[in-house]
Amino acid sequence: MTWATAKTGGFTMAEKSWYQLTVQELLAKLATRESGLTTDEVTTRREQYGENRLAAKRQTTLIEKFIAQFKDFMIIVLIVAAIVAGATGEMVDALIILAVVLLNAVFGVFQEAKAEEAINSLKEMAAPVAQVERDGEVVTVKSNELVPGDVVHLEAGDIVPADLRLLTANTMRVEESALTGESVPVTKRAEVLTDADLALGDRENLAYMNTNVTTGRGSGVVIATGMQTEVGRIAGMIDAAEETKTPLQENLTQLGKWLTILILVIAVVVFLIGMLRGQESVVDMLLTAISLAVAAIPEGLPAIVTITLALGTQRMAKRKALIRRLPAVETLGSTDIIASDKTGTLTQNKMTVEQLVLDGTLTDAKVADVPADSPLALAMMLNNDTKFTDAGLGGDPTETALVQYYLDHDVAAQTVIETHPRIAEIAFDSERKLMSTFNQTADGQLVQYVKGAPDQLLTRVTRILDHGQVRPITAADREQLLATNHELATQALRVLAFGYRPLDAVPEPLTSEHAEQDLILIGLIAMIDPERPEVAAAVAEAHSAGIRPIMITGDHRDTAQAIARRLGILSPDGDDDDQVITGAELDAISDADFEKRVANYSVYARVAPEHKVRIVNAWQKQGKVVAMTGDGVNDAPALKAADIGVGMGITGTEVSKGASDMVLADDNFSTIVVAVEEGRKVFSNIQKALQYLLSANIGEVLTLFVMTLLGWQILAPVQILWINLVTDTFPAIALGLEPGEPDIMKRKPRGRSSNFFSGGVFGNVLYQGLLEGLITLSVYGIGLAFPVHQSAELAHADALTMAFATLGLIQLFHAFNSKTIHQSIFKVGLFRNRALNWAILAAFLLLAATIVVPGFNTVFHLTPLSGSQWGTVLGAGVVMIAIVEIVKWCQRRLLK
């Protein structure tokens, strides 16, 4: 950010970035002083720049959400159909269609009622109060009263209330992982930084709003407030982000348009043919056209899709994946890319001791035997500012990890610390990179313990502890230790060296130059924010499912690369370095070039929030469906831009959860893969229901169309709608409960270009629909050719009833066919889905009731059938199953 290109806190910036200014330049530019502003100056500036709070986007009301549900194209088609049905006196038909529409709207509102909470969550994170210089005195004010130019004091435990340029920083460290992705607290300093275009996490003399001071203290001048802060900029990105349509929504829109055109064409053609024949009245042909429209519209599809998705959300919730938007269930199943944040998502977001270097030997810390009274154990526990609280260990993550190591080895660390009181200390300093404490043992002996950077500590040691004996350190020892340090550092491990020396008294003067000399080197420890134990297996499973995991982090390149290598994210076929890119390198690439090269990179390090959005967008322009995982404030814009944002339920900020479509209740990366499996199952089941519905509707349309062409008596609208009501909806919903097919996670992702008709479904819909229609027409012909009554009128009535029964019953038989797209129903289990069995039985009883129940059949203009006629109808259903099974067998042979 430069002074010529941006505004911060309302002040126009000039040629330098904030971190490049001297204190004098800073104070002059902000028209303030180290003693802060006066009350009058604050009042004037607040009037000019407003309060230090984040602007919230207007939230839609429940009524607005409800109305929005009716903007879907398919819903509009159904409403029009209901209006037409009502206008022609078919009120039952109209009410059924409207009930389906309302059910869909209620489900949609219920799922989306808690959406769009990201900005409100950001506001709730703000620091409540701040210590500020006003009129030359330090006073406590509400953080929303801060203005640019205010001088703020900070100490350990404080939340930074605004973006600050630090004036002082005394052993000050700030936890910025939620904003920058940095896995450990950043050591802050007040000196001018001269480099241009530093990454957010490298601006060590700046402190950002809503980050946490973990150790030390300092002060700084407010350079940005409210929406002008870095977190405010992210809030603006979230606010401006466009809602992306899921593949499911796009598919339903396309299907609605396609069906609308088809319905209109069929209705018009049939109406014109009937009028040209001159044998029917205008009213009769209008009713015929309406019958065709009713037959063509899958009235239950929106409700079936919604219910199938809702059932999917329930299954996912049981497996720790909480869905915030219904379409997100299906989107997971089409995911090509999982772009994952590292800190807290792939890793545990806590430092852990992993390696020890003792007596010249590198040892796995998990199996090392380090007695609690050994010099290394005492140095790790005593040279440490960790606090013991009811909630656990508090303090710097590096130091808490040192204590936690011994707690994990059943050492009473708190007792050790209490029985070795600290007499004096030389605090950590970012320049010398060392810390010393002077502790007294139970027998009154004084011991100095030192920890710090290995290269720094090695310049101050003269002896080394070797198998319990102290001896002079040699050049070979130093060379070996430095080589080990380098080797561990290349593995992204953070290395600390420890030393000690017995003393008679605390040195005078107590300075580093005087006291941190003539030390005895104990050894080295190596730490890392380790990967979650289950992630490597989840990454491998994602690869086997054709999904590419990539890492996007604000952490350093070496750290990100090492973790990615350990998890299997980096491809073994390529050079690791070529697959890793930093935010600075990404800035040097144009959008056009990056879109061409995006597939080359598996790890993005040291990135800013806008980089994450750019990465997501680049993959989307390649036609890929992108899932983005994250837990920090800095992840929120990308979570919203992605096709599906996946937030972390435990470690995630409310901001990231508010911007997500799905939240992992257990923060377990492997749960994402489980959710992908459920998503694929949901899409597969929707495909099955769609194949079932549309093939049935094509059968109905073909039957009516041919009957009209041949001048036969046709099925009435109420008969068609009754068939649709009892045979479509309940069996189709039950198909949504089908268990997943065994190979569902071995298939390649469908991707954005796929739709409901992919994978042979379109061909199946066509031939199965034609088959249903031809079988129904054949039964109608059989009824006419072999009547059981001599009366021509009764013979036609029986034939029409047989056609009605066949058209309904054949769909129920076909529901078993639809249990799988290509596999044999006898292989997946004919009666395995109990819900489908009961749905088919209930539908059959309702269908049969319109024929056999006296009075009821009169309402539907149907006649009772004889045993032979029922036998013909049932035989037609068996023929339907047999032919579809033969076609599936041929398809499987061709696909091999």
Residues recognised as catalytic: 341
Q: How far is CA 817 from the centre of its chain?
A: 35
Query: Nearest-CA neighbor of 84 among 289, 306, 319, 388?
Result: 289
Which parts of 642-668 fold into alpha helices (H)?
Answer: 654-658
How do beta strands 446-452 and 461-466 pair?
unpaired
CB 805 within 8 A of CB 857: no
Distance (Å, whole) CA 244 – CA 625: 11
666-670, long-range: CB within 8 Å, 24+ apart, which pairs? Answer: 666/320, 667/344, 667/345, 667/631, 668/320, 668/532, 668/534, 669/340, 669/345, 669/346, 669/532, 669/534, 669/535, 669/538, 669/539, 669/629, 670/534, 670/535, 670/537, 670/538, 670/541
Largest CA-CA distance found in the chain, in angstroms, rounded = 125
Which parts of 225-318 fold into alpha helices (H)?
Answer: 230-240, 247-277, 282-296, 301-318
Structure tokens at 169: 């920083």
Backbone dihedral region for residue 210 (phi beyond 0: left; psi -120 to 50: alpha; all else: beta): left
Cβ-based neighbours of 527, under 8 Å, separated by 6 or more: 351, 352, 353, 354, 398, 401, 493, 494, 495, 496
Distance (Å, whole) CA 170 – CA 473: 33
Distance (Å, whole) CA 97 – CA 161: 55
Sign, CA dihedral 450-452-454-459, equals negative
Q: What is the full DSSP assignment across 691-747?
A: HHHHHHHHHHHHHHHHHHHHT-----HHHHHHHIIIIIIHHHHHHTTPPPPTTTTTS
Distance (Å, whole) CA 630 – CA 485: 32
CB 541 within 8 A of CB 746: no
CB 668 within 8 A of CB 539: no
How do beta strands 434-440 and 422-429 pair?
antiparallel
